[in-house]
């Protein structure tokens, strides 16, 4: 592992500790108690246990910070300028179906800006982490975004809106445009890992809309510290607030963004 700052040590340590139970539960996925949180959106016993572990350890390390938790909601802290944004299990559907592609996502927001974060894939034991001004790393290796310049050479990741979520027609218009202009489109089921893969140069870009803050917060700092750019699909900069994300390198940002915006349906789709 590369040198870790005190803040990174806290984040990475909390993620690794919480992941132990997650991996154990993944090995017994068929025996998990599962309840419906929404249409095709499950929350498992593993999800809740992991979030409790993260909340406990991060509270010990930084007792005054607040939290924005996927399952537990908002927890106010004494320090109103800082809060943790946590997704204890990004890729829950993969997890519950025995697909080994899911992650823990932890970000620290200070004064409205994401300043540190980590995305941990416990099955592959890949820790993606970054802190503002200190670069982005995958385990002990410095990460850089892809250097590809031509859109037709790129592999682009996305997420598909599932049953019960709006935006299906819009997504189909987007994916049709991107399929016709790139070397391939991938959909793996974990927004946090999609962003981490962009930071690592595995994907050349990623877009999705309708996401929650905990889906994207850690990925934002990973991509930016790896030399990439993260904006809204529409071109704005409030990615965490809007849940609209376009992440790539400086060469692909404009052509991919232009392509997606040109593919927007003329009327608001269902």
Each residue's pLDDT tens digit, 85-105: 999 999 988 988 888 999 999
The domain segmentation of the chain, as residue ranges, is 6-142, 151-262
Torsion angle of the four alpha carbons 136, 138, 144, 145, in this order, in degrees rounded to the nearest 10: -100
Q: Which CATH architecture has domain 151-262?
A: 3-Layer(aba) Sandwich (3.40)
Helix 45-61 crosses helix 6-27 at what angle (to 10 degrees)?
A: 160
- The Cα–Cα gap between 222 and 132 comes to 9
Farthest CA pair distance, the chain: 51
Tokens of 125: 């034991």
pLDDT per residue as tens digits for the range 44-74: 788 899 999 999 999 999 999 999 998 889 9
3-class secondary-structure state, position 12: helix
The model's confidence at residue 3, banded by pLDDT at 50, 70 and 90, is confident
The model's confidence at residue 204, banded by pLDDT at 50, 70 and 90, is very high
Helix (H) or strand (E) holding 7: helix 6-27
Cβ neighbours of 78 (radius 10 Å): 9
Burial of 265 (0-12, 13-18, 19+ CB in 10 A): exposed
CA distances from 200 to 26, 251, 254 (A): 25, 16, 20
pLDDT per residue as tens digits for the range 140-197: 999 999 999 999 999 999 998 876 677 788 889 999 999 999 999 999 999 999 999 9
- The residue among 6, 260, 244, 231 whose CA lies nearest residue 108 is 6
Contact 117, 106 (CB under 8 A): yes
- Are domains 6-142 and 151-262 of this chain identical in fold? no
The model's confidence at residue 35, banded by pLDDT at 50, 70 and 90, is low
In this prediction the pTM is 0.92
pLDDT at residue 107, as a whole number: 98
- The Cα–Cα gap between 174 and 171 comes to 5
pLDDT per residue as tens digits for the range 218-248: 999 999 999 999 999 999 999 999 999 999 9
**Percentage of residues of the chain with pLDDT beyond 70:** 92
Strand partners, 155: 184
Taking domain 6-142, whether its CATH number is 1.10.10.10 is answered by no
- The Cα–Cα gap between 112 and 122 comes to 29
Task: Indicate whether 203 pLDDT > 90.
Answer: yes
DSSP type of residue 188: -
pLDDT at residue 269, as a whole number: 46
Chain mean position to CA 209: 12
Residue whose token pair is 């910070």: 65
The model's confidence at residue 210, banded by pLDDT at 50, 70 and 90, is very high
Residue 37: φ, ψ to 5°: -100, -20
Q: Which of 7-21, 25-39, 112-126, 166-180 has the lowest mean pLDDT?
A: 25-39
């Amino acid at each position: 592992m590369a040198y870790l700052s005190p803040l990174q040590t806290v984040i990475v340590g909390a993620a690794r500790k919480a992941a132990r139970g997650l991996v154990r539960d993944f090995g017994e996925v068929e025996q998990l108690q599962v309840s419906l949180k929404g249409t095709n959106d499950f929350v498992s016993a593993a999800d809740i246990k992991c979030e409790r572990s993260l909340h406990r350890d991060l509270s010990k390390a930084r007792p005054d910070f607040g939290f924005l938790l996927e399952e537990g909601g908002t927890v106010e802290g004494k320090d109103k300028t800082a809060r943790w944004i946590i997704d204890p299990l990004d890729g829950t559907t993969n997890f519950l179906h025995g697909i080994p592609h899911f992650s823990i996502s932890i970000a620290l927001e200070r004064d409205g800006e994401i300043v540190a974060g980590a995305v941990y894939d416990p099955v592959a034991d890949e820790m993606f982490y970054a802190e503002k001004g200190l670069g982005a790393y995958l385990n002990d290796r410095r990460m850089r975004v892809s250097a590809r310049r031509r859109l037709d050479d790129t592999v682009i990741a996305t997420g598909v809106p599932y049953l019960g979520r709006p935006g299906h027609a819009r997504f189909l218009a987007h994916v049709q445009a991107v399929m016709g202009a790139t070397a391939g489109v991938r959909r793996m089921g974990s927004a946090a890992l999609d962003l981490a893969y962009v930071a690592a140069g595995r994907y050349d870009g990623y877009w999705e809309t309708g996401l929650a803050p905990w889906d994207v917060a850690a990925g934002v700092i990973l991509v930016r510290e790896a030399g990439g750019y993260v904006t809204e699909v529409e071109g704005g900069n409030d990615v965490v607030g809007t849940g609209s994300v376009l992440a790539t390198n400086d060469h692909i940002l404009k052509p991919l963004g232009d392509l997606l915006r040109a593919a927007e349906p003329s009327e608001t789709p269902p």
